[in-house]
Amino acid sequence: MAPTTNKSILEWLDDKIKLVNPDKVVWIDGSNEQIEQLRAEACKTGEMIKLNDELLPDCYLHRTAENDVARVEGRTFICAPTKEEAGPTNNWMDPAQAYEMLYSIAKDSYKGRTAYIIPYSMGPVGSQFSKAGIEMTDSIYVVLNMCIMTRVGFNVLDCLGDSNDWVRGLHCKCDIDAEKRYICQFPQDNTIISVNSGYGGNVLLGKKCFALRIASYQGRNEGWQAEHMLILGVENPKGEVKYICAAFPSACGKTNLAMLIPPEGYKAKGYKVWTVGDDIAWIRKGEDGRLYAINPENGFFGVAPGTNMKSNPNALLTTKKGTIFTNVCHNLDNNTVWWEGLDKNPPENAKEWTGKPWNGKTDEIKGAHPNSRFTAPAKNCPCISSEFENPQGVPISAFVFGGRRAKLAPLVYQSRNWNHGVFVGSIMASETTAAASGAVGVVRRDPMAMLPFCGYNMADYWQHWIDIGKTLDSDKAPKIFNVNWFRKDEDGNFMWPGFGDNLRVLEWILKRCEGAVDAKETEIGFVPYAQDINLEGIEDEVTVDSLNAMLGVEKELWAEDAKSIEEFYAKFGDRIPAELSAELETLKNNVK
Ligand code: GTP
Ligand code: SPV
Ligand code: MN
């Protein structure tokens, strides 16, 4: 019996169940008993491997197909009524055609399988920020991941009542045929259909498909924002906590910044960092006129390689129980997991991520896939914020944009005002990473880190940012900054130590928000005076000269960049907000 009488849900499910034709239908209630039972079943079929219960209690390993290890941007579509509405940065398909094609792929694809129906909430159940979704899937892996990443349970249905405001999600594994893989969003229909994949961002439909692509569209219509942003709180020695939201592209340091451990000197003074979210922020104006953010997720789907007790101990500790590891290396000696950058001792008796024997002695074959990930409950995180469950969210002092850029972008700079800040976000560029299939290390424009995730025309999304700014009093609007941890020297080495030391930059950012420190006005915005970035404890790693080089604004490079921004903007025709065109003119004049 269905645990709801909501007609819109029952009708949709009835229709989709007829389409995919499962042997059995199971509602997911999120209970421990049910989760245990599904884990056992997945271990029996080999879909999951139970890991050492003493070292990694309730942890599992899963391997995806070798052709299915990352998001597939080329096969991700925004199926809006017109191509214009999807805009030049999205793939578009006519909704009627898309439905027809997807239904023909999905037809009877659950034969011999079970349909799992997952009612879930993005955001704390009942919060005014939150939204409900239902995902139907034929994958236990998806069920178990959704039970970590979202709030799953029948209370979501109770809260929803008879409302039609819920996101429909249909996932069909089919036979993981890469040629028939499609990730389709229908923003106007609150609908997502994903076929022929079993990988994270393609199939955990609450995450990128709903909480960013569909939600960004909803937010535009309803006056709020869905952003690819971490949320962190910085607690100063007086015990005051200020919150920052930061947008970096995939695998560019959100999880790391969100969980950072202050450098020794800061720790001694009493600084602390609290994690509210590591990937997605939903943002709306509060009654006091400030912007508030929640993390709609309930867990972390984090990049494994490079995570270690030095770079991100909080993330590593978060993965010690109740975690699903995907595409990492399996250490057969003690039935645990390993990845590049965990430590310097690759296991000698192991299986690499595809399941083939591996002895850790070759550099050519990696133990873990570069985009291997952990799915870990947020409540495991040693630095999880006390505000994590706060239905009102946390007040934002600053927005930070940033990407991977070996050259050009300084370590940090501040925009002159809100509209200039929106411009700074819109011109973000970053080197591509393994988070999506395709070439790695190619610089591309990735506005607000939303290039793969904006559910409508990016120019309209920028307009939405501008419009939000118009509703904010200037003393309440978050200040907007840009950072770049990835600037390289002539020899190709990172110039900034990064990770925990990034707090030194956050300190400057928060001081700027309070008006407590001066800055140098340059062609691109406000840049710190070198003496205002605290280098205590890292003087032998970062000299004042190299800091000055990282803070440098090279006019010729910016003039070139301005040309490329102009070309990028041209793709949007006259949809570009006038405010942003004006900012581009200012930049061109400044760097002439
Ligand atoms: P998604 O989950 O894909 O959205 O990514 P994310 O932004 O959360 O990425 P994450 O924090 O997992 O970043 C992973 C990569 O960034 C790893 O290769 C890290 O080593 C690298 N990284 C993170 N912070 C820093 C930093 O401050 N400096 C340098 N040089 N590398 C960093
Ligand atoms: C990203 O690629 O930005 C991620 C991982 O956070 S995924 O959920 O696969 O999109
Ligand atoms: Mn992400």
- pLDDT tens digits, 219-278: 999 999 999 999 999 999 999 999 999 999 999 999 999 999 999 999 999 999 999 999
Residue whose Cα lies nearest atom 7 of ligand 2: it is 201
**In sequence order, what are the beta bridge partners of 494?**
488
- pLDDT band, very low/low/confident/very high, at 585 (cuts 50, 70, 90): very high
Contact 117/28 with Cβ under 8 angstroms? yes
Query: pTM for the whole thing?
Result: 0.98
- pLDDT band, very low/low/confident/very high, at 363 (cuts 50, 70, 90): confident
Q: Catalytic residue at 252?
A: yes
Q: Is the pLDDT reported for residue 474 higher than 90?
A: yes
Give the mean pLDDT of 143-171: 98
Tokens linked to 166:
């819920």
pLDDT one-digit tens code per residue, 491-500: 999 999 999 9
pLDDT score recorded for residue 109 = 98
pLDDT one-digit tens code per residue, 297-315: 999 999 999 999 999 999 9
Q: Which ligand is nearest to the CA of 370?
A: 1
Instruction: State which ligand 2 atom lies nearest to the alpha carbon of 207.
Output: 8
Among 59, 147, 252, 381, the one annotated catalytic:
252
pLDDT one-digit tens code per residue, 22-42: 999 999 999 999 999 999 999
Quote the CA–CA distance of 366 and 458 in Å, as a whole number: 37
Q: Is the pLDDT reported for residue 505 higher than 90?
A: yes
pLDDT one-digit tens code per residue, 177-207: 999 999 999 999 999 999 999 999 999 999 9
Contact 121/150 with Cβ under 8 angstroms? yes
Q: Is the pLDDT reported for residue 364 higher than 90?
A: no
* Separation of CA 470 and ligand 2 centre (Å): 31
Distances (CA, A) of 411 to 196, 523, 564: 41, 15, 21
pLDDT one-digit tens code per residue, 247-259: 999 999 999 999 9
Residue whose Cα lies nearest atom 26 of ligand 1: it is 498
Secondary structure of 376-397 as H, E, C letters: EEHHHCCCECCCCCCCCCEEEE
Instruction: State which ligand 2 atom lies nearest to the alpha carbon of 202.
Output: 9
- Those residues whose beta carbon sits under 5 angstroms from the ion ligand 3 are 250, 279
* Separation of CA 286 and ligand 2 centre (Å): 29
Range of lowest pLDDT (70-84, 435-449, 502-516): 435-449
Residue whose Cα lies nearest atom 9 of ligand 2: it is 201
Q: Which ligand is nearest to the CA of 227?
A: 3
Q: What dihedral angle (degrees, nearest 10) is formed by the CA atoms of 301, 304, 309, 310?
A: -100
Give the mean pLDDT of 3-25: 98
pLDDT score recorded for residue 360 = 92
Secondary structure of 111-136 as H, E, C letters: CCCEEEEEEEEECCCCCCCCEEEEEE
Mutate to test the pocket of ligand 2, among 250, 324, 454 (most ligand atoms within 8 A of CB): 250
**In sequence order, what are the beta bridge partners of 169?**
135, 192
Q: Is the pLDDT reported for residue 362 higher than 90?
A: no
* Separation of CA 334 and ligand 3 centre (Å): 31
Q: Which residue has the tokens 């389709």?
A: 184
Residue whose Cα lies nearest atom 4 of ligand 2: it is 250
**132, 129, 142, 125: which is closest to 167 by C-alpha?**
132
